[in-house]
Amino acid sequence: MGNTAAAAWMRRALQLAAAGPWPDPNPRVGCVLVAPDGTVVGEGFHHGAGTPHAEIEALTAAGDAARGATAFVTLEPCSHTGRTGPCSDALAESGVARVVFAQSDPNPDASGGAERLHAAGVQVTGGVLADEAAAINERWARTVALGRPLVTWKLATTLDGRSAAADGTSQWITGEAARADVHLLRATRDAVLVGTGTVLADDPRLTVRMPGGELAARQPLRAVMGERDVPDGARIRDAPGTLVHLETRDPWEALDLLWRKGVRDVWLEGGPTLAAAFISAGLVDDVYAYVAPALLGAGPAAVADLGIRSVSDVRRLDLVDVAVVGGDVRIHAVPVVGTPGVGTPAATPATDS
């Protein structure tokens, strides 16, 4: 089988992988089994945590036809036993003659499948369309490298940097289109995180609503961080989905607790004190700032004191994208690696915002 044909089958596997869910504790993976005569005998993709891996789904579809076939897999078949056994072993036992994979597994707990297959007598080729495969799982790979959930900080502010008026009111700084955009982005994360102070001050639901106002079928986990109690009558308790109270003021501990619950992508919507705690700890990976063409002149800033006393210590961000959303501007930026608090976390200030 030539390189052109291998790339074509791998593109089909990538199409399957893209149908998998994110966020999820596991990567998105696709698999295509091709018989020696060029016939597809099985396909599969990973449907999320707790479901069969892509290779297992494809092998199940193929049955005995897998013997002698070539498996095209977007990620190196795993070598570890979790909820299921190693996919590398299942492929070898099925009698496939060759395995072609795109991206090597960056997870040290699961890598090594290529060696297991080779040891079992299966021909193995790696690196076919590796860049395309890596792009599909870019956020998952980042969580693996960091060993914690990714954190996206969302803020809404006036032109003069105020997140609320002097009396504490903040609804609504931005317009309806910007708020709808926030809901669409919330839906791409698996947890929305605020502090208990935000719950007490704003009484949010933290749900995802789609255009038209209806609740989305899938609701991210709603996480409240802080040592104060969540009131019995808080609207966040009545919303659909799962609510978890993280009884800590330490951002690292909060993320560890969420990681253990399978959370890999966090949407941070807390107030200025909570935002400052995560920024100071080096725990903000993306920023979405919604800026309204409005002035308040007084009131809380979008972020609390970061301990910066000189412009030489400014925390820089790289601009990713700027868009006009209704009557507001959305800025997507990422912290510059090497600036204070990024990559080399500082001491975490206590917060109960």
Query: What value does the mean pLDDT of the chain take?
Result: 89
Task: Give tens-digit pLDDT for 90-136.
Answer: 999 999 999 999 999 888 777 788 999 999 999 999 999 999 999 99
What residue numbers bound the domain in which 104 lies?
3-143
Query: Which residue matches tokens 């698999």?
Result: 31
Q: What is the pLDDT of residue 217?
A: 83
Q: What is the pLDDT of residue 352?
A: 34
- The answer on 18 and 124 residing in a single domain is yes
Q: Indicate the residue among 125, 143, 161 that finishes a domain.
A: 143
Per the structure, the count of domains in the chain is: 2
Would you call 33 helix, strand, or coil by DSSP?
Answer: strand
Q: Indicate the residue among 112, 143, 174 that finishes a domain.
A: 143
* Comparison of pLDDT for 202 and 291, the residue scoring more: 291
Q: 82 near 45, Cβ under 8 Å?
A: no
Its pTM surpasses 0.85: no
Q: Is 55 a catalytic residue?
A: yes
Q: What is the pLDDT averaged over residues 53-81?
A: 93
* Comparison of pLDDT for 78 and 293, the residue scoring more: 293
Q: Does 133 map to a domain?
A: yes
Q: What is the pLDDT averaged over residues 287-302?
A: 94
Q: Which phi and psi (to 5°) does residue 199 adopt?
A: -60, -45
- The answer on 286 and 223 residing in a single domain is yes
Q: What is the pLDDT of residue 1?
A: 58
Beta strands across the sheet bearing 40-45: 40-45, 30-34, 70-75, 98-103, 123-125
Q: Does 211 map to a domain?
A: yes
- The answer on 95 and 74 residing in a single domain is yes
| Residue 349 pLDDT level (bands cut at 50, 70, 90) | very low
Which residue in 55, 57, 76, 269 is the catalytic one? 55
Instruction: Determine what percent of the chain is predicted with pLDDT higher than 70.
Output: 94
Instruction: Tell me whether the omega of the peptide bond preceding residue 140 falls within 30 degrees of 0, making it cis.
Output: no
Q: What is the DSSP letter of 350?
A: P
Q: What is the pLDDT of residue 171?
A: 80
Find the CATH number of the domain harbouring 118: 3.40.140.10
Cβ atoms within 10 A of the Cβ of 202, count? 19
Q: What is the pLDDT of residue 83?
A: 66
Give the residue from 16, 238, 329, 285 showing the smallest Cα distance to 143.
285
Return d(Cα 37, Cα 180) in angstroms, integer: 51
Tokens of 102: 């795109």
Helices (H), the chain: 3-18, 54-62, 87-94, 113-119, 130-136, 138-146, 176-186, 196-202, 235-238, 251-260, 272-280
Could you report how far apart the first and last alpha carbons of the chain are, in Å? 60
Return d(Cα 278, Cα 257) in angstroms, integer: 15
Q: Does 342 map to a domain?
A: no
Q: Which residues of 179-190 are buried (b: 16+ CB within 10 A; e: fewer)?
A: bbbbeebbbebb
Return d(Cα 259, Cα 151) in angstroms, integer: 12
Task: Give tens-digit pLDDT for 222-267.
Answer: 999 999 999 998 999 988 889 999 999 999 999 999 999 999 999 9
Q: Does 136 map to a domain?
A: yes
| Residue 342 pLDDT level (bands cut at 50, 70, 90) | very low
Task: Give tens-digit pLDDT for 19-56.
Answer: 998 888 889 999 999 999 999 999 999 998 889 999 99
